[in-house]
Structure 1
């Protein structure tokens, strides 16, 4: 099995390249057959190559951004969704460019670009069907040695079993076993997975696997993630990491606020018709208020009132704060729809414009939940290093029912690797989770996040 691993990335790039070339070929036909002829002075060779080149660039950027090249990593359905979104955005950008290039009124017809989507979607479906079979045959599931605190064994096995196409747990060994025993256990496995293991033993196992060229999956601790954002210091011949631990810099906060104002203002204008219809639908269903406000916590522990469209019955929390569960009877019919489509979040654009929140950042929690989570995980308070956000790392890579510790780790990954480009990427990735049902799963009945 391992003999093909060295070719996996090359195979991914090759398949993605074939898909992009085929899509570009169809666009080339549409450009030559429809749009170029509408110019007063049709492009010659260089101009045509420029238009096709831009289209290929858009496909590469957005398909890569959505993870559309991660064959044998994402499931087939996720790959199709990623590549479809990337293609749709590329087509939309290309049509706007065609409008500017053709430069005539009335505007160039949009239907050729819409028709172009049909063969492109067929290409995406066919290539993913074939590639799925190829990768499953060449790269069967890896046999894992799971070394963990046995308290988390069932949770981890449940997570791993959801990706039987990638992993198969051969053995599960307690992290309390001596180091020499753990080193011997990996002998007939393809990889080792570590979770909840004592720090010194973990470090020794990592070095052992590095020496023996053994693949290893390690669940990071909070301190590991904080080190990701450190600067390398070479003031003398001993290397050091510098952790400033101050959240975002002044310049980053200025750029982030400017982007928040521009994007939230534009989105409010575009979303206003949908917001009006949503408010009307909520009012007609049970005659209750369309909006509800709730106290949340943002940067530095500052409290503010968050606005959302009401998706539950009036007085849903008259017996106290509680998480939404699967098949929650308090959620209204309209509420189910606006939750699934994320329309219930739109009023938070007002919070962003006011400065209570940012477009991207950790989700704002209620004080009662923060207090509860901090009893189990004191580091949960670290999320308040930056302003709360409408979308963020934990919302995109986690779920509604992701544990507080894992949400903390995801949010810290964002804080410690922040950049404007990362914010832009996460905003685009938010479009993808709008089509992903798992991201809105409620907690199981009786599940205790703390």
Structure 2
């Protein structure tokens, strides 16, 4: 594969995204400018709202906020994420920016009595922006996929390659991004792969021995070849290390102290506040769902089950019952499929939008769980997975969560090992910012689920 052609393709990709990003920001800022200028011209009682400098300042604040929030939520990732994911990111970004702008505008106006007029105007602004963003982004992504060709790749796998990870199939399921054209078993002499690698844009390393993987990564670095590889758990832990420059030898440090006491205190405080507010807001919905469950088969409203959380502690998780009474009367786990006869009518509805999980806010309030964290597993599943994967207990270093890294970036059928890796990524790179990002990703996923249901 021509190296210069690959470089030009990458440059074209970045230029395309840059142009799209500029247009997205123009759409958001121009619509805001229309609303703000019209409102300011009518309510300019103090004379400080109009004028080129004042209007420019208001637009600059909105533009800066839009860039930061949209970038953080992945709204610029055209050609990287799936279409619906990118559009959902942009719409959620617009919602956050417009909500924050309500209070910024009130600060500029200097009078809180304008809250509702501003609020309703910005709500309408958000609706218009959502339509415009979707109308631009979907065709833009379609054009990107026609203009920017996918990477042609070669996969190198080891003798003990875990074929269950289906990496070849997963990559080729995104044909607009990847085309794995060849798979080869890693040879003992990796130097023979140099000429082979030259034929492709990128290399994929799948479950190689440490020595083989290290050698191939260095080879790809030497020949300036893009390389993808599946990290081992130790790789994930190492990636969070700090580099210390104490003397003339590089030294990495993994503290392995867990989350700091301060961060834990802030996290717990936020858990209490969010769960309490959410329970109050959702209480009418809880009553309606509880009534529907009771009326359908007169069985119990809630379903309780033993789960494992921080330090291996077992607690009773609470859910709305979405299946018939005694669905697991033999005491064994029977995962429910989409057409499972055990799922009740109301159960299908609340499962589709994950409403059955929301009573776990009570678990969060009690301290059994956190809003964000590794999903707490059943006791028997923990015992089973720990036999297969000794590191499975690593996920018990933090409280189980209502949502988590593995839930927003994984799938229902993601393997236990891959979920564990994602949980370790969360634990070793924990920050309050990451918690917030996972919460927004959760909202985005729920939005996409509701959208799919509506389209069906």
Q: Normalising by the residue count of structure 1, what TM-score does the alignment of the two structures yield?
A: 0.91
Is residue 2:307 matched to residue 1:304?
Answer: no
Of the structure 1 ranges 300-309 and 250-259, higher mean CA displacement relative to structure 2 is found in 250-259
Is residue 2:375 matched to residue 1:368?
Answer: no
Is residue 2:169 matched to residue 1:158?
Answer: yes
In structure 2, what is the equivalent of residue 44 of structure 1? Answer: 50
**1:99 to 1:280, Cα distance in 2 relative to 1, 3 A:** farther
- 1:96 Cα shift? 4.4
**1:69 to 1:4, Cα distance in 2 relative to 1, 3 A:** same
DSSP-derived class of the 2:166 partner: helix
**Cα contact 1:246–1:385 (8 A) shared by 2:** no
In structure 1, what is the equivalent of residue 249 of structure 2? Answer: 238
In structure 1, what is the equivalent of residue 446 of structure 2? Answer: 434
**Cα contact 1:175–1:196 (8 A) shared by 2:** no
Q: How does 1:271-282 map to 2 (within 5 A)?
A: 271-282=282-293
Return the match for 1:270 from 278, 281, 296. 281
1:200-255: per-residue Cα shift (whole Å, max 9, x none)? 01100000000100011011010010012222223332222112223212222122
Separation (CA, whole Å) in 1 of partners of 2:40 and 2:287: 37
Return the match for 2:357 from 345, 350, 372. 345
DSSP-derived class of the 1:415 partner: helix
In structure 2, what is the equivalent of residue 444 of structure 1? Answer: none
**Cα contact 1:225–1:413 (8 A) shared by 2:** yes
Separation (CA, whole Å) in 2 of partners of 1:358 and 1:29: 42
1:368-391: per-residue Cα shift (whole Å, max 9, x none)? 101111122111111011111111
In structure 1, what is the equivalent of residue 133 of structure 2? Answer: 124
- 1:362 Cα shift? 0.4
Separation (CA, whole Å) in 1 of partners of 2:340 and 2:13: 43
In structure 2, what is the equivalent of residue 418 of structure 1? Answer: 430
Is residue 2:152 matched to residue 1:147?
Answer: no
**Cα contact 1:383–1:412 (8 A) shared by 2:** yes
**Cα contact 1:194–1:219 (8 A) shared by 2:** yes
Separation (CA, whole Å) in 2 of partners of 1:14 and 1:87: 19
In structure 1, what is the equivalent of residue 202 of structure 2? Answer: 191
**1:181 to 1:318, Cα distance in 2 relative to 1, 3 A:** farther
- 1:118 Cα shift? 4.5
1:335-383: per-residue Cα shift (whole Å, max 9, x none)? 1221221211211111111111111110101111011111221111110
**Cα contact 1:295–1:306 (8 A) shared by 2:** yes
Q: Normalising by the residue count of structure 2, what TM-score does the alignment of the two structures yield?
A: 0.89
**Cα contact 2:275–2:365 (8 A) shared by 1:** yes
**1:183 to 1:201, Cα distance in 2 relative to 1, 3 A:** farther
- 1:417 Cα shift? 0.8
In structure 1, what is the equivalent of residue 258 of structure 2? Answer: 247
Separation (CA, whole Å) in 1 of partners of 2:413 and 2:21: 33
DSSP-derived class of the 1:172 partner: strand
Of the structure 1 ranges 394-403 and 266-275, higher mean CA displacement relative to structure 2 is found in 266-275
**1:144 to 1:58, Cα distance in 2 relative to 1, 3 A:** same
Separation (CA, whole Å) in 2 of partners of 1:73 and 1:417: 23
**Cα contact 1:393–1:426 (8 A) shared by 2:** yes
**1:51 to 1:73, Cα distance in 2 relative to 1, 3 A:** same
**Cα contact 1:39–1:103 (8 A) shared by 2:** no
- 1:75 Cα shift? 2.1
Separation (CA, whole Å) in 1 of partners of 2:44 and 2:324: 57
In structure 2, what is the equivalent of residue 135 of structure 1? Answer: 144
RMSD of aligned Cα (Å): 2.3
- 1:34 Cα shift? 3.1
**Cα contact 2:154–2:183 (8 A) shared by 1:** yes
**Structure 2, unaligned stretches of length 5 or more?**
none
In structure 1, what is the equivalent of residue 66 of structure 2? Answer: 59
In structure 2, what is the equivalent of residue 94 of structure 1? Answer: 101
Separation (CA, whole Å) in 1 of partners of 2:24 and 2:428: 35
The total of aligned residue pairs comes to 439
1:68-126: per-residue Cα shift (whole Å, max 9, x none)? 11111112222222212211222233234445645226831644334324542343133
Separation (CA, whole Å) in 2 of partners of 1:105 and 1:30: 14
Separation (CA, whole Å) in 2 of partners of 1:105 and 1:25: 22
In structure 1, what is the equivalent of residue 117 of structure 2? Answer: 108
DSSP-derived class of the 1:108 partner: helix
**Structure 1, unaligned stretches of length 5 or more?**
441-450
Is residue 2:397 matched to residue 1:390?
Answer: no
**1:434 to 1:219, Cα distance in 2 relative to 1, 3 A:** same
In structure 2, what is the equivalent of residue 335 of structure 1? Answer: 347
**Cα contact 2:271–2:364 (8 A) shared by 1:** yes
Of the structure 1 ranges 69-78 and 317-326, higher mean CA displacement relative to structure 2 is found in 317-326
Separation (CA, whole Å) in 2 of partners of 1:88 and 1:287: 40
Return the match for 1:217 from 228, 245, 248. 228
